[in-house]
Chain A
Amino acid sequence: MRGAAEAAARIGAALGQRVVVLLIVAVAVFALLEVAKGDAVDAYLAQTGGGDAGYAETLRQSFGLAGTVPDRLFTYLGRLVRLDLGTSVAFGRPVTQVLAERLPITLILMGSALLITSVVGTILGIVASRRPGGVVDTLVITVALVLNATPGFLVALVGLLVFAVMLRWLPVGGIGTIGRAEGSPALDMVRHLVLPVSTLALTYLALYVRVTRAAMIEMAGADMVRTARAKGLGGRRLLLRHELRPALMPIVTLIGVQGSAMLGGSVVVETVFAVPGYGSLAAMAVAQRDTLLLAGVVLSGAVLVVAVNALVDILYGVIDPRVRLAGAAGRG
């Protein structure tokens, strides 16, 4: 009983801390956009081709951009509590609605890219670690490092040119065939996502390879592995049980870090491949000076990162039960 209450309190505290963090993000983003020169009405007029001064003032009123800065901040935070992020100027609809529409795409894109990087990166890392300094090791590391150093937009552009335009194996962009439907929609979507997902996965591969490789080499020299080897264990069993399992810890930690980095990298990749996720939405919000939408993307990006990290915490417990025990004992 006491354990459960403590766990609840601990979770509550962690949750509270995360809410505070997100609140700071909200205020920071709002402050940032208040400094911006030109507001959404100017962006709107640029799009529509002009009008007189009265027209601009009418728009400003209807967009809710009138009033003092503290007024607007207070209104913004007040609405935030009710999960109301305001209305997007570019879309003319509630920001939450726009974000909700794009959430599935973002989750699918990020999820598949994270999955592919972590699995492929881990496997490559293990393979490389078997013979440090060998040919395979050097090759894997070199390729990973080169990809890591190459800007995502270059990988995306080359992928687009080779696989979509020259070979015509894959579509040039979007997430589904429109007006030409044939075959299964799920398969169609997979075909559309191959290029963006692999671009993201490839550019973020290096960190996984390196961390896995380092952890595996370290583990191979660790006491318990030596003991296990002395006990006569070997081969695959030794690898999986005694080396890989502890080595998974830093790999799981990376998912949190990578999730955040990939969300940033998705801006360019989604723009090149016209994927309607958070990344292209962010670029569009900047281009159209859609204050509330940009705030919404940044804020929900932060929420996603927090959620991924919470997930990582849970995964820790699954991989290594001692974490749970240690946590409880430490508090007790």
Chain B
Amino acid sequence: MRVASLIGGGLVCLVVLVAVFASQIAPGDPAAMVARPMLPLFSPGHLFGTDQFGRDVLAGVVHGARISLLVGVAAALATLGLGTAVGLAAGFLGGFADAVAMRVTEAFQTVPTFLLALALCGVMGASLTTIVVAIAIASWPLSARLVRGEVLRLRTLEYVDAARMAGLRPLSIALTVVMPGALVPVAALFGVTVGEAILVESALSFLGLGDPNVFSWGAMVANGRTLMRTAPAVALLPGMAIAVTVLGISLLGDRFATRQRPS
């Protein structure tokens, strides 16, 4: 699977580069209605053509990389942060608090992730922040369970006992001794979570629950959907951009994921 990782790494690098240099590749506001509507592919100055409002599709795809990566990484950090906090608390406090935390975790795991994210975005209104928050609230349980499991395992290990006997307070033991160990499996989840978050964001935008001020790939597909017959590229290109990004991340992350996958 080394080749796969290389390909994945290459794709991710490409997307990151495009995101970083978006303004150089396609200057200006990607939402600007700059040209004649419905220009075909390979038009001079508009490589990917324009949509029904004269927006440059290439600019949309290029700038969309920023949005997707931003949302993906932010949502993954929020998800893993929330999960880690709950998992640490449950694992350390034990007893009633653990039981409550685990029931709540199960409850959140029972509701289909996308259904919950959809409901949250629906009621909180559409903005990048609410999308990130919604994804985090809908997807934290897996990491919480992982961390809790690690904490329970590590607690019994000798070096934790040693730390306790050395007189460290429980909180410092949690933060300095156990947490670093418990974070290893969480780190492995990072790539997968970013990919999931990008897909969730695109589906929310596709359903019209995205942030109207940014031109994300999902929103572009939703807009281009009505043009599927007349100009399929308007919807297909941003859709393929999503697929390429998520594929790259999953290929790259696979090595960690398979090695660390909990039984």
Contact = CB atoms under 8 A, between A and B. Distances in A.
A and B held together in a complex: yes
Interface of A: 17, 20-22, 24-25, 28-29, 32-33, 35-37, 145-146, 148-154, 157-158, 160-161, 165, 214, 260-261, 263-265, 267-268, 271, 282-283, 286-287, 289, 294, 297-298, 301-302, 305-306
Contact of A157 (B107, B218, B228): B228
Contact of B111 (A154, A160, A268, A298): A298
Nearest to B113: A264
A214 B258 contact: yes
B250 interface: yes
The 9 closest A-B pairs by CB, nearest first: A264-B114, A286-B122, A36-B123, A149-B247, A24-B107, A264-B112, A154-B239, A149-B246, A150-B243
Interface in B115-132: 115-116, 118-125
B199 interface: yes
A35 to B, nearest CB: 6
B207 A283 contact: yes
A148 B199 CA distance: 10
Contacts of B110: 21-22, 25, 260, 302, 305-306
25 contacts: A17-B106, A20-B103, A22-B107, A28-B107, A32-B119, A32-B123, A146-B247, A149-B195, A149-B242, A149-B244, A149-B246, A150-B246, A154-B243, A157-B235, A161-B229, A165-B228, A260-B109, A260-B110, A263-B112, A267-B118, A286-B123, A289-B122, A294-B122, A298-B119, A301-B111
A267 B204 CA distance: 10
A151 B206 contact: yes
Nearest to B111: A302
Most buried by A among B107, B236, B240, B243: B107
A267 B125 contact: no
Contact of B207 (A22, A33, A268, A298): A268
B193 interface: no
B6 interface: no
B143 interface: no
Given A152-B203, A154-B243, A29 B113 contact: no
A154 B242 contact: yes
A261 B203 CA distance: 13
Contacts of A28: 107-108
Interface size class of B (residues with CB under 8 A): 35 or more
Contact of B119 (A151, A263, A271, A294): A294
A149 B246 CA distance: 5
Contacts of A289: 122
Interface residues of chain B: helix, strand, loop or mixed (majority): helix
B79 interface: no
B202 interface: yes
A29 B239 contact: no
A151 B202 contact: yes
A149 B104 contact: no
Given A151-B202, A264-B115, 16 more contacts: A37-B123, A37-B125, A145-B250, A149-B195, A151-B239, A151-B242, A157-B228, A157-B239, A260-B110, A260-B112, A261-B114, A265-B114, A267-B114, A301-B112, A302-B111, A305-B111
A24 to B, nearest CB: 4
B112 A148 contact: no
B239 A150 contact: yes
Contacts of B240: 154
Contacts of B206: 151, 153, 268
A151 B218 contact: yes
Contact of B103 (A21, A153, A271): A21
A145 B243 CA distance: 10
A145 B251 contact: yes
A153 B229 CA distance: 16
B178 to A, nearest CB: 27
B247 A33 contact: no
A220 B26 CA distance: 53
